[in-house]
Each structure stands twice: as C-alpha cells, then as structure tokens.
Amino acid sequence: MTDIQQPAAEVPVSDLSDDGGQGEYVPRQITLNDVSGSLDDAYTSSMISIEDGQMVSGTVVRVDKDEVLLDIGFKSEGVIPSRELSIRNDIEPGEIVSIGDKIEALVLQREDKEGRLLLSKKRAQYERAWGTIEQVKEADGIVSGPVIEVVKGGLIVDIGLRGFLPASLVELRRVRDLQPYVGQTVHAKIIELDKNRNNVVLSRRGYLEETQKEQREDFLENLKPGEVRNGVISSVVNFGAFVDLGGMDGLIHVSELSWKHVDHPNSVVQVGDEVTVQVLEVDFSRERISLSLKATQQDPWQEFATSHRVGELVYGRVTKLVPFGSFVQVGEGIEGLVHISEMSAHHVDLPEQVVTPGEELWVKIIDIDLQRRRISLSIKQAAEGGVVAQEYQEHFGEHAFDDQGNYIGPTEVDPATEAAWAEYYQELEQDEVQASTPSVYTSEAPDAAGDEAAGDVSEDL
C-alpha cells in the first residue's frame, strides 16, 4: 500500500514554467503562503477606495424603518440613516427607495464608532443640484419642483435641494392660504443664491410676470381711469385691499375704501367679497392699478348737504371732546363741530362742563362747508328752538309739526314721552331755573337756563 503524506506548509509544489523562450520547461516552486497572499491581494484589489466627502454609487440591498443599506462594492454595506435620504421631512424610507434601486450617495464618515460606513443620499443630491442651479441662475433660467411644505412666510420647493418661495412671490396677487399649493409642481425664477448659508430664494411671481407680460400689457391698455369694474377682494392688508379684476390685481388704498373713517380695511371688506370699484390711475411703467370703492358709493357729505340747510335742528351723538369744543355725529360718517362758544348761553371753560362723550342731543346747523367737508353746529342755538330736519319730522310723524316745521307734539302723548317731560321739569325745578326761551320741541315749553339746557332736553327725549 502506498503511503500518502501531506506536504508541509513550505513543501514545494511542482508546476511547469516557461524557460524564457528556450523551448524547455523547468519546475517553478509555489508555496501555500503564496496562494493565500494572492487571494488577499485579489480581494483587496477588488475593494473601492473610500474617503470622507466622496461621491459613490451603489445598489439598495435593504430598506428598514430607520435606515437603508447600500452595496457600493466596499467590504461592508454603507448605511444611509432615514434623515439622510431626502430633503423632505417625516417621510418613510420605503417612499424614497426600493430594493434594487441604483442610487448615488455621499460618504459622511468612512467608519463611525460602530465601524459602519455612513452615507447620505440627500447630500449627494444637494451637491449635484447645486451645480445645476448655479448654472440656471447664471443663465437667468427657470427651475421647477413640487411644493413639499408650508413654513412660516412661504413654501418649500423640492428643486434637488430646499428652495424657499416667499408667500409674497407665489402669485401675481397676494395669497392668503398657502396649503393648497402643497403637492403642486411650480415653476420659479431664482432670485437669491448663497451656498455658504444654504440659501436659495425663489420667485414664482417673477416667472408668471415673464410668461404673462403680453397679457398684462393688453389688460392695462384696455383699462381707463374713471372706468367702473367688478372684482373680488383677493387680500386685505393694513394699508388697503387688493382686488382681482380678472387679469391683474388693483389696490384700494385705505383712504378710498369708505367715505367715513376706517380703522382697518377688514372692517369694510373681507377676502372673497365681490365689489364694484372705479379705476383711479393706471401706472404702465410699474404695472400698478389704483382703485376706489367709495367713488362708486353715495357721498354722505353731498347727501347731507343736499337734504339739510343752515338753521335746521338735527339729532346727534357726542363723539369726542377737544379743548375748543366737541364733535357731534349727525349722520353716517358725518361729524360736525360745536365750538365752545356755541355750547351754552353762558361762558364755558371746558366742554365737559356741558356735554359728555356718548351723550345724545339736539344741535342746530349754523354752517355747511361741503368743499372742506365741515359742518358747524350749535347747542346754544338749538335750545332756542327752530325747524326740525325733515328726516326727524318723518320719524316723529308729520302731524307733530306745523307748516313751518315747528314741533307741536302728538295729540296723545305716550307714557314714555310724558315721563321724560316730567323728569325734565323736575330737574328745572331743582336747579331753580326760570324758563325764558322756547325748547327744541315746542315754542310754548319753558327753556333750560344755564349750560345744561340743550343737552338735557335731547337726552331726556
């Protein structure tokens, strides 16, 4: 039986080797260590070289809830944490990649404390996108991408990186609700680019202005000052309201919203309101349209001046006191001044000696200046009697006045009126005032002497 012995580690193994072209073969000695070393070299040579910040490509081999494994031909798979998969927040890895996908990633760390190769898909995407975006900005081009998020002051658009689209630049007109834009693909101009600050600012309005320039020019050409148009309130701001005229937005300045004082535009109009406005001005160079809402409404000052005359008595409410008198509202949006010299028959040092804010009383019109929109009133002269304005005659009933408009009272006094007169007379007695002038309502009723005459009659009645 032939014995078979195992060769030692250094036992030569015969092989044929070329003699260098002499036509003869000579044995070449190969050790097992040589074989092992060759395999290590072959394995090592098959591994790619990896450095931090390097861009690599690979195949997705596993998708978990918190991470994705990527085979890039390294000795171990690279790990992409879920936060490094996409510029979108709170999104599942399975919505971004699937097993077998070929993707690109950037090496974050060749070996972390756990010995893993950390990669980032979103940063690789960012690096690639940034170069493209710089070229687009230089060429004054357009970028596009889906809106992925609403943030304070605007929208975030996925253009390979997070582009910020301010709310004021979303449309040609101002937009109140940005939520409906999420998921929509938008086109925009790049207006600001700063890689150091990772800042990209976009303008969809700039894109729309370019693409709709011809339409806007036609719209402005056909819009004439003085023309009346219908529109819809598109937004309300502190200084006025914007109106969608069906092609462009125009501005109603707060001073053109109403004939009366406006504390804030939203007290007059709300977004979505249909309005009729008059075109005040068209600025072609700046593409701006100035509108007026009050121009399409009745001027209350003109209406008051038409329906009233000097010498009439009107009923009003004290709105505020000033050192030189008091203002009394005598109509919707109409205030007149009672000068301190017209507040009482006797000398008055301060208006509060005669009236208080919120008090209702009769006053006489002593001057109407329509051009300057000023009305002068008198409490003192109202106490002397006079013709009551027509709207109050209608209110009390025509039978309560004579042909000259003087109040003669109802034929039957209702209990409330009778009680008011009783209270009035009681106050006169308490003040020991002698009646000497006709009251507001009747030439026969005793007057109130002193500085409380005009106010008391109107307040009680």
Return the CATH number of 55-124, one of 2.40.50.140, 2.40.110.10, 3.80.10.10, 1.10.3720.10: 2.40.50.140
Same fold, 55-124 and 307-461: yes
CATH of domain 140-211: 2.40.50.140
Residues 272-327 have pLDDT tens digits of 999 999 999 998 888 889 999 998 988 888 888 888 889 889 889 999 999 999 99
Specify the pLDDT at position 18: 47
Residues 313-342 have pLDDT tens digits of 988 999 999 999 999 999 877 889 999 999
CATH class of residue range 307-461: mainly beta
Residues 396-448 have pLDDT tens digits of 555 555 666 565 554 444 454 445 445 544 654 565 444 333 333 333 333 33
- Give the span between the Cα atoms of 387 and 403, in whole angstroms: 10
Specify the pLDDT at position 281: 92
Q: Where are the domains of the chain?
A: 16-43, 55-124, 140-211, 222-296, 307-461
- Give the span between the Cα atoms of 188 and 207, in whole angstroms: 5
Which residue has better confidence, 37 or 202?
A: 202
Mean pLDDT of the chain: 77
- Residue whose structure tokens are 């960012």: 126
- Residue whose structure tokens are 């008011």: 420
CATH of domain 222-296: 2.40.50.140
CA distances from 205 to 170, 173, 259, 354 (A): 6, 8, 34, 59
